[in-house]
């Protein structure tokens, strides 16, 4: 289901939506790059360590050939139109199951993000090494480039936080005048909402909910929710024209 086209019909009193890595380009991109950055850092450190140990025993070229073959296999799986079938063939004799459906999609998103970020981090490190050897930046050496590579880690953490915030699954019930949110489960009664303000963010709308406080009593509930633009318009109209 695409979040830009929530499940609804002309005679239906409910609008359902689902925003996650499988339906939202923004969530998928943020999650892939966030997870991919952490995996890329781990892979680069592990590969460099293995290569260093292999080089000390005179087997550096074998290690390079192995990692090149592994990288080619991964890239071929990413580019393949039958990834699931190829994974089944590769894991048939292994004591692990092959991912499928949503699990396979998450794995491929993570792998794609990892490959991209390995390229980014590797490029920064290679440029830094080149600049340092040629002394192009004087005493700075490779510092600016290694600093940029290190800065990608907190940026990845921010990307994961944003992906989690922009993730949303729920139902807007016109008849009951309520919003049902899932994971975690919450029910928001529109009768206690005094106002709604919105801000568009990519393929999503962030709604800020203003709750009534009868007799100064605090009303529990989410203050901000993320929904598709169509759901945001419907919700605002229900609150404004009740």
- Per-residue pLDDT at 95: 58
* Consecutive 10-residue averages of pLDDT for the chain (242 residues): 50 81 86 93 90 86 86 78 64 59 77 90 88 78 85 94 90 90 86 89 86 81 89 88 68
- Per-residue pLDDT at 180: 92
- Per-residue pLDDT at 90: 58
Distance CA 175, CA 234 (A): 13
Residue 103, classed as helix, strand or coil, is helix
Counting runs of H as helices and runs of E as strands, what totals does the chain give?
6, 7
- Per-residue pLDDT at 152: 93
* DSSP state at residue 7: B
Rg of the Cα atoms in the chain: 24
* DSSP state at residue 98: P
Cβ partners under 8 Å of residue 28, min gap 6: 21, 22, 109
- Per-residue pLDDT at 154: 95
Looking at 62-203, which runs of residues are DSSP E strands?
Answer: 168-173, 178-181, 186-189, 193-201
Strand partners, 210: 195
Residue intervals of the chain classified under CATH 2.30.29 are: 14-20+167-240
**Residue 58, token pair as written in the block:** 């005179």
Q: Which helix (H) or strand (E) holds 32?
A: helix 25-56
* Other Cβ atoms closer than 10 A to 45: 10
Q: In what order do the strands lie in the sheet with 193-201?
A: 193-201, 204-211, 224-227
Distance CA 45, CA 60 (A): 16
Topology of the domain covering 14-20+167-240:
PH-domain like (2.30.29)
- Distance of alpha carbon 74 from its chain centroid, rounded? 20
pLDDT in tens, 83-133: 666 666 656 665 555 556 667 778 788 888 998 999 899 898 888 888 888
- Per-residue pLDDT at 145: 86
Distance CA 50, CA 227 (A): 46
Looking at the chain, which runs of residues are DSSP E strands?
Answer: 14-19, 168-173, 178-181, 186-189, 193-201, 204-211, 224-227
Looking at 112-156, which runs of residues are DSSP E strands?
Answer: none
HSE-up of residue 29 (Cα within 13 Å, Cβ side): 5
Phi-psi region of 141 (alpha: psi -120 to 50; beta: other; left: phi over 0): left
- Per-residue pLDDT at 175: 87
**Residue 45, token pair as written in the block:** 């450190």
**Residue 69, token pair as written in the block:** 């073959």
């Amino acid at each position: 289901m695409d979040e830009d086209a929530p499940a609804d019909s002309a005679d239906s009193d409910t609008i359902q939506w689902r925003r996650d890595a499988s339906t939202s380009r923004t969530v998928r991109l943020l999650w892939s790059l966030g997870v991919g950055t952490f995996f890329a850092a781990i892979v680069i450190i592990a590969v460099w360590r293995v290569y260093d140990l292999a080089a000390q025993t005179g087997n550096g070229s074998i290690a390079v050939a192995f990692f090149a073959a592994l990288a080619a296999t991964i890239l071929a799986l990413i580019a393949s139109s039958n990834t699931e079938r190829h994974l089944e063939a590769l894991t048939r004799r292994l004591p692990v199951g092959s991912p499928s459906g949503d699990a396979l999609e998450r794995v491929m998103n993570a792998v794609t993000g990892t490959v991209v970020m390995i390229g980014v981090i590797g490029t920064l490190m290679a440029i830094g090494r080149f600049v340092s050897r040629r002394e192009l930046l004087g005493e700075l050496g490779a510092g600016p480039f290694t600093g940029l590579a290190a800065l990608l880690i907190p940026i990845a953490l921010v990307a994961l936080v944003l992906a989690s915030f922009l993730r949303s699954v729920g139902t807007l019930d016109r008849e009951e005048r309520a919003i049902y949110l899932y994971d975690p489960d919450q029910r928001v009664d529109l009768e206690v909402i005094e106002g709604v303000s919105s801000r568009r963010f990519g393929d999503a709308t962030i709604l800020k909910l203003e709750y009534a406080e009868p007799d100064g009593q605090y009303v529990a509930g989410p203050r901000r929710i993320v929904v598709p633009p169509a759901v945001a318009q419907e919700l605002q109209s229900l609150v404004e024209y009740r």
